[in-house]
Structure 1
């Protein structure tokens, strides 16, 4: 761990991807080269980062003044996309403008798989963010992440209760990978001295599965009968609404499944495993981990 390593800033560091990225960075560079951006400096995440020797700074996408101060003296920045659907373009624009003003040497942005042509509902906000990045003149890298395996393992408790996994993905193949895989890829890009800019990485898992495959693996690993029940997009959305999900999120999940049925979440380029230097986490391993609690 060299003292000449770049100073790396991770936005939204308290989130699930952010925390994993900080952990992956600490395996590559010294803690004093890592800075975690948080909206709450009194949070549990902030205390945990400080205990590991990682500095924390206030960084709120909705408060440009905090971003300008947070990015001072930073060499490389990971802009983790916001989870506030409908607000992302403005929030990301705030961060990009602050990064430009701070003279950051490279910004890596977590976009979505094939954002430029994807039919996924979230892709439009990512396309607009990518455009803002291009027009900013900032040296940048696009980490176009596929879906997280955890998006599906979160449904395991319900599947076990009802003995069914529901969705609208048909026989579409989904090349998901674990969050830790994507976090490691981000850490590699942020710390590689030879990393170029204007790079685009289409990142996805080595292994693709259908939701029927996923249900069968839950059944095998749990020893309980689980079947996949495919539904029309509207019916699936209504079930999600009935389960208490906010309307925008229910529409996003159901719509993403419908897009997956048409191949929007499949990729066989293996860019992710090449970047991290190992195979991506098999979906069976993610299911085993989820079942183990």
Structure 2
């Protein structure tokens, strides 16, 4: 494997990718980009002999320093929607200014590119980042992710909350999602980083092997929990009003509403996937995932 920098290395996906790489390559081939060296996971990286680089996406000068002697970058997309595109442009500029040859970018699947679509703020920044990377002249691999299975507990609540409310309350209608757990993305993408040549200048669509609605999620949870878990899909206005009434922060309500509307519009309903080919197996089912989380 080429000397590889994993960005977002303290986040959930970044940690899983690093874990997979450590099981298969020498530590001197792995560098990690972090913002805060006081975190326990960073101290763990240091104890294992990983090359720790300190910078954030907002600081081009520090990124340029952090990218020295790096051959390929695994760019995990930023979470700040308003700043994401400029942050990603900084990463590309820092890569061009150094010896980086190849960028792997975690993008998103998409069906609708309209600026009026509920998920436009998410999709548009990814599309523009993809184009920035492609236009840079660097070798690239675009990894278009479907939704993480891991967001389901975030959207519907933990076991205690579900047993209290006995319901899933989201305006997702009968929309379906080809969910993928983070661990499956990390497994596949670590393999790609280890053998990058066959993935140069390619775009991959990474969807799960099954498509699941929240009605189906409620049925699975009913069996797991031994309690009837109903699925209620209110109107968007009713949902937002109810969430604000129970005290959820406005930005959280907006995020839940935006993704719920995207699901209702079938933005994540895909039949094909490149992921199974890379993994050499099917993705983890929602039944398996929810059992691990809620049983």
State whether TM-score is above 0.5.
Answer: yes
Q: Which runs of 5+ in 1 are unaligned?
A: none
Q: Is the CA contact (8 Å cut-off) linking 2:178 and 2:269 kept in structure 1?
A: yes
Q: Is the CA contact (8 Å cut-off) linking 2:113 and 2:124 kept in structure 1?
A: no
> Structure 1 residues 252 and 74 mapped into 2: Cα distance closer, same or farther (>3 Å)?
same
Does 114-123 or 102-111 show the bigger shift?
A: 114-123
Q: Which runs of 5+ in 2 are unaligned?
A: none
> Structure 1 residues 218 and 52 mapped into 2: Cα distance closer, same or farther (>3 Å)?
farther
> Structure 1 residues 9 and 259 mapped into 2: Cα distance closer, same or farther (>3 Å)?
same
Q: Is the CA contact (8 Å cut-off) linking 2:111 and 2:267 kept in structure 1?
A: no
Residue 177 of structure 2: aligned partner? 174
Say whether residues 1:103 and 2:106 are aligned partners.
no
> Structure 1 residues 243 and 126 mapped into 2: Cα distance closer, same or farther (>3 Å)?
farther
Residue 148 of structure 1: aligned partner? 148
Computed over aligned residues only, the root mean square deviation of the Cα atoms, in angstroms, reads 1.8
> Structure 1 residues 8 and 217 mapped into 2: Cα distance closer, same or farther (>3 Å)?
same
Cα deviation digits, residues 190-232 of structure 1 (max 9, x gap)? 1114323221111111111100101111111111121111011
1:35 deviates by: 0.9
> Structure 1 residues 245 and 83 mapped into 2: Cα distance closer, same or farther (>3 Å)?
farther
Superposition pairs of residues 7-156 of structure 1, within 5 angstroms: 7-114=3-110, 117=113, 119=117, 120-121=119-120, 122-154=122-154, 155-156=156-157
Could you tell me the TM-score, scaled by structure 2's length?
0.92
> Structure 1 residues 232 and 261 mapped into 2: Cα distance closer, same or farther (>3 Å)?
same
Which whole-Å CA distance do the structure 2 matches of 1:218 and 1:284 have between them? 9
Does 37-46 or 185-194 show the bigger shift?
A: 185-194
| Number of residue pairs the alignment of both structures matches | 288
1:116 deviates by: 7.5
Cα deviation digits, residues 39-94 of structure 1 (max 9, x gap)? 01121110121233322110211111221111111111011011112110111111
Does 265-274 or 172-181 show the bigger shift?
A: 265-274
Does 120-129 or 47-56 show the bigger shift?
A: 47-56
> Structure 1 residues 275 and 117 mapped into 2: Cα distance closer, same or farther (>3 Å)?
farther
Residue 278 of structure 1: aligned partner? 281
Residue 165 of structure 2: aligned partner? 162
